[in-house]
Copies of this chain bind each other. A is one copy, B any other.
């Protein structure tokens, strides 16, 4: 969202920068996004960015913080609105898929950070985000077991890994086809399979 307004206050400029990076990451390989490209999209000179961020890495940290905040907020809202643990899992799944379809750059960034070998601040932030996400899944799966919706003999850790992998598979399919919109269409069929994997045999 390139604003026409000039001389934005610092916090707004930072927010616009984050939004711009998310937008650019949806169009190209995140690791190839240059500060010049970010600035150009914002109708700004490249040097101006460094008035608001001490380094390019700081920009990435701000972006990841934005993602963590918004994704987890949406997930929590989906969980609250659901009537049962299994319904909540489905709502989280569809929320996650919708988020990825809305901001296709986000999964690309997450992938990119994870495949980095060194333990950077960004990678640690991504790891923390996934940890919190996984925490919520564990809680739902355990609740589903006591509610009788999910088979008690299921390995909870494996079930969370499969949940994330299910989203992942959908994402990879979409990246292959270059069509993020199809994710929303294929999502329900994939979750149906996931439900078969974990449901109790009543």
In A85-122, the 8 Å CB interface with B consists of 108, 111-112, 114-118
Q: Nearest chain B CB to A106's CB is how many angstroms away?
A: 11
Q: Quick check: is A197 within 8 A (CB to CB) of the other chain?
A: yes
Known: A155-B189, A194-B197. A176 touches B130 (CB 8 A): yes
Which residue among A29, A162, A166 has the maximum number of chain B CB atoms within 10 Å of its CB?
A162
The segment from A5-13, A14-22, A167-175 found at the interface with B is: A167-175
Q: How large is the interface on A (under 10, 10 to 19, 20 to 34, 35 or more residues)?
A: 35 or more
Q: Quick check: is A127 within 8 A (CB to CB) of the other chain?
A: yes
Known: A115-B112, A193-B198, A197-B196. A161 touches B175 (CB 8 A): no
Across the interface, A197 reaches (CB within 8 A) one of B31, B157, B168, B197, namely: B197
Q: Quick check: is A165 within 8 A (CB to CB) of the other chain?
A: yes
Report which A residues bind B (CB closer than 8 A).
27-31, 108, 111-112, 114-118, 127, 130, 154-155, 157-159, 161-170, 172-173, 175-176, 186, 189-190, 192-194, 196-198
A-B contact pairs, 25 of them (CB 8 A): A27-B117, A28-B117, A29-B31, A29-B116, A30-B115, A108-B115, A111-B111, A112-B115, A114-B176, A115-B175, A130-B176, A154-B193, A157-B186, A157-B189, A158-B186, A162-B169, A162-B190, A162-B193, A163-B169, A165-B165, A165-B167, A168-B168, A168-B169, A193-B198, A197-B197
